[in-house]
Structure 1
């Protein structure tokens, strides 16, 4: 009966049943947080972990049924590996086992489109378990060998099974993230984020206002997403209707379509962050006498909405996952001796983590090329004082900002085409419908635009 009600409601509001159940699961984090604040805050860590585990399993089984047993199996295996193995062997076993399990899941459960199945929470879980293995290993290494991030998250003692379960199945973060370290989780349940009154009493965190703000922003982005759906839809770019439009309209709608796709993720992250804030997990110290609650923020809206280059998107979008990858993958690839090799390794890791569809690999290859182009251009013009002075002119600066905002707006949409359409034939059709705009802007840079600009700048320097 409940299933029929959910299916009927999903149909009426234009969502699939799995998508609606996912949204309701995310929203369930708020009542779970209120119950926690009322009855379990500052109680023994064992009871807290039991509560988090029970809530997370409830959400998981409601959304994915017996698929959640895959998550439980990998949690147990990873805990045993962390407990009985040591050093690089322990990290390697946890890393390889979880990735093989994830890829096997993709092979057996993936379709030709984006799937809401048990592999969705599982891919979040994989990073969380690998992160715990790295942190336990870092806790055994000399401090001088660790990065600043690793110093903050390193674990001197191995976590218990109940702590691993509570961390892995934290109810407001087990479905779509965000990522957070075991160190943060342990500090949270052990009372390091407690609000203490002047008379020594311990109160739940004064985070309700901040949680409501993020909740409200999440609802706002859901509303904007629904409004945009009146003008664009996921298959718009591969439609005949789109192909017949004039070039300017196609480019504008490509940017709108890109925002439509991204706002779906942003709204979910804002809602999960609000629930994490309500729990008190996101406490991030104080600044100028004010508490900060941005410890698990996954989207930096001011940077995202004002992006004028693709690095701004990378800095602001899926921030916790990017931080996790920077700490646990990028910084550990320093032995390669080349930042481009390290970046390539990171992007390959992310592509494999997302799945086996060729669109993921095309997306992250494109990201590598775009970042290379933008950095190469910036490094190229930096030594030329005349160019810098020209670009710093107030009128020129305003014009450049307008052009760069339009550039980032339109070509973020282009960059998402393989990620959304996944299949080679579908995103190639999308490229064709967009007149291969991204190919001309980015892929010709190393063989055409870059060499021409270098020749021009050398001539300008000689004339000066």
Structure 2
């Protein structure tokens, strides 16, 4: 159930901008993080911690209720359940298991009853973010009860020796600049922020000098919103499954596929940049100082734009896109499977978790399958080149660097679009039609690599491999 707007202003504005009303409300909510951050800086920063918790809880809940009505109480309940689990089971392995199973089950049941064949903007959006936050708290509290020598360097920094209070739980989860679209951040970071650890240099209760850094991310966010809207004039989800796209020449199709991929990603990037700017303005994003003593405000950075816009291999997309979620999965899924003794199995399990976390649509599973096989192919290619002296010299030639850079950038540009087709189109009939429109190029290139191309290359190159001295 959602809150009705009798005036119809939002409906008229959403029609004018060509977006749905829920999407417009979500965007307005992200922008609202800025005036709330200014109010917090002026009136509440450095004050009693419980007062700050109540400010975040109240404002975050109001924004959630405005977007999703009484459905926001799903989030209220699951936070309470998780708190009670930690209260009763303390920092035990069982508390982690119960928190994990309960929240993931609640998420999947929610998907079952509320998902459609389109990209849904409903209470499941903030809850899927909340699931990771709650599971992370349970893991960190568990780590806080383990011998410190058994913890990784990351776990040592995030471990919680003391159970968070119920106000800390709700304040962390309802933090208004990050509740609805992220980014993820740890309870430890939230506690340091509220206690004044990120305050202005030389003080304990004055807001930090981070307004300029926040405005830079805000400006980038607005820029990406504009570029996203411009790209929508040329490509759309419906266009990718249209006969018009399928009958255009192959070069146009590949370039339009890449353009569509960028447009799809810019939808997320613009929201993340705007949300991050709000977090910076609050002062949450402090990340130490660089070698020149300049404060860094990239502590909750979710998109590394320089890396993202200059990718030459898919691993760089993973390093630069949805950074906090990828880091969360690495910390709480991938590394926890180290006992399996095989990084490919651990990686596959982490990607399967991500697919399940997104929902039941087959497109999610196909998308993350392609991520796995593409990364596998790129590692295999590097291994083959590195093990062959002639190929190594050829690809390290100075004259080849510029054309190689161009080719690799085009490769990542086009095939990121290919990889996103199932993720965005969701249902098999739609993304398979789009695959056909793109001549099944990704299947031919990536799926066939370990079956056909790699064995042939290794056979013909085996006599040229560098022999040990």
Contact 2:47–2:205 (CA under 8 A) maintained in structure 1: no
Q: TM-score, normalised by structure 1?
A: 0.98
More moved, 346-355 vs 396-405: 396-405
Runs of 4 or more, structure 1, over 6 Å off, are none
- 1:301 paired residue number: 305
Q: Which residue of 2 aligns with 1:362?
A: 366
Quote the Cα distance in structure 2 between the aligned partners of 1:376 and 1:461: 15
The one-character-per-residue Cα deviations of 1:10-62 (angstroms, maximum 9, x if unpaired) are 01110100000000000000010000000000001100000000011011000
Query: Residue 196 of structure 2 is aligned with which of 181, 191, 196?
Result: 191
1:35 and 2:27 correspond: no
Q: 1:337 to 1:201 in 2, by over 3 A?
A: closer
Deviation at 1:196, TM superposition (A): 3.7
> Does 2:306 align with 1:314?
no
Query: Corresponding residue for 1:133?
Result: 138
Kept in 2, the 8 Å contact 1:283–1:291? The answer is yes
Q: Which residue is 1:454 aligned to?
A: 458
1:279 aligns with 282
- Local SS of the residue matching 1:28: helix
Query: Can you list the C-alpha shifts for 1:277-309, whole angstroms capped at 9, x where unaligned?
Result: 000000000111100000000000000000011
Paired residues, what number?
462
Shift of 1:2: 5.0
Tell which deviates more after alignment, 409-418 or 385-394: 385-394
Rounded Cα–Cα distance in structure 2 between residues aligned with 1:18 and 1:196? 41
Q: Deviations over 1:356-415 (max 9, x none)?
A: 111111111111111111111111221223221211111112111111100000000000
Do 2:363 and 2:423's aligned partners in 1 also have CA atoms closer than 8 Å?
yes
Alignment of 1:179-328 (within 5 A): 179-197=184-202, 202-287=205-290, 288-328=292-332
TM-score (norm 2): 0.97
Instruction: Output the CA distance in 1 between the equivalents of 2:464 and 2:77.
Output: 64
The answer on 1:150 being equivalent to 2:155 is yes
Give the Cα–Cα distance (whole angstroms) in 1 for the partners of residues 6 and 178 of structure 2.
24
Write the distance in 2 (CA, Å) between the matches of 1:451 and 1:405: 26
Measured in 1, the distance between the counterparts of 2:271 and 2:465 equals 51
Distance, in Å, in 1 between the alignment partners of 2:460 and 2:425 is 39
Q: How does 1:434-445 map to 2 (within 5 A)?
A: 434-445=438-449
169, 173, 194: which one pairs with 1:164? 169
Moved more, 256-265 or 453-462: 453-462
**Is the 8 Å Cα contact of residues 34 and 278 (structure 2) preserved in structure 1?**
yes
Gaps of 5+ in 2: none
Corresponding residue SS for 1:203: coil
Contact kept in structure 2, 1:167 and 1:182, CA below 8 Å:
yes
Whole-angstrom CA distance in 2 between matches of 1:148 and 1:389: 38
**Cα separation, partners in 2 of 1:49 and 1:451, compared to 1, 3 Å:** same
1:230, distance to aligned residue in structure 2 (A): 1.4
Residue 108, structure 1, aligned to residue 116, structure 2: no
Matched, 1:99 2:104: yes
Question: What is the CA–CA distance in structure 1 between the aligned matches of 2:345 and 2:173, rounded to whole Å?
Answer: 31
Q: Distance in 2 between matches of 1:202 and 1:45?
A: 11
CA contact (8 A) 1:196 1:202 kept: no
Q: Quote how far apart the aligned CAs of 1:460 are.
A: 3.0
Q: After the TM superposition, which residues 59-98 of structure 1 pair with which residues of structure 2 at under 5 Å, given as runs?
A: 59-86=63-90, 87-98=92-103
Q: Look up the SS of the partner of 2:237 in the other structure.
A: coil
1:236 Cα deviation after fit: 1.3
- Written as runs of structure 1 = structure 2, the 5 A alignment for 1:403-414 is 403-414=407-418
Q: Is residue 60–residue 68 contact of structure 1 (8 Å, CA) maintained in 2?
A: yes
* 174, 181, 193: which one aligns with 2:179: 174
C-alpha change, 1:461 and 1:94, in structure 2 (3 Å) is closer
Tell me how far apart the structure 2 counterparts of residues 19 and 370 of structure 1 sit (CA, whole Å). Answer: 32
Q: Is the 8 A contact 2:388 2:464 kept in 1?
A: no
Aligned-CA RMSD value: 1.3
- Secondary structure of 1:275's aligned partner: helix
In structure 2, do the counterparts of structure 1 residues 236 and 10 end up closer, same or farther at CA, with 3 Å as the change threshold?
same
Q: Tell me how far 1:3 sits from its aligned partner.
A: 5.5
Superposed displacement of residue 202, structure 1: 4.1
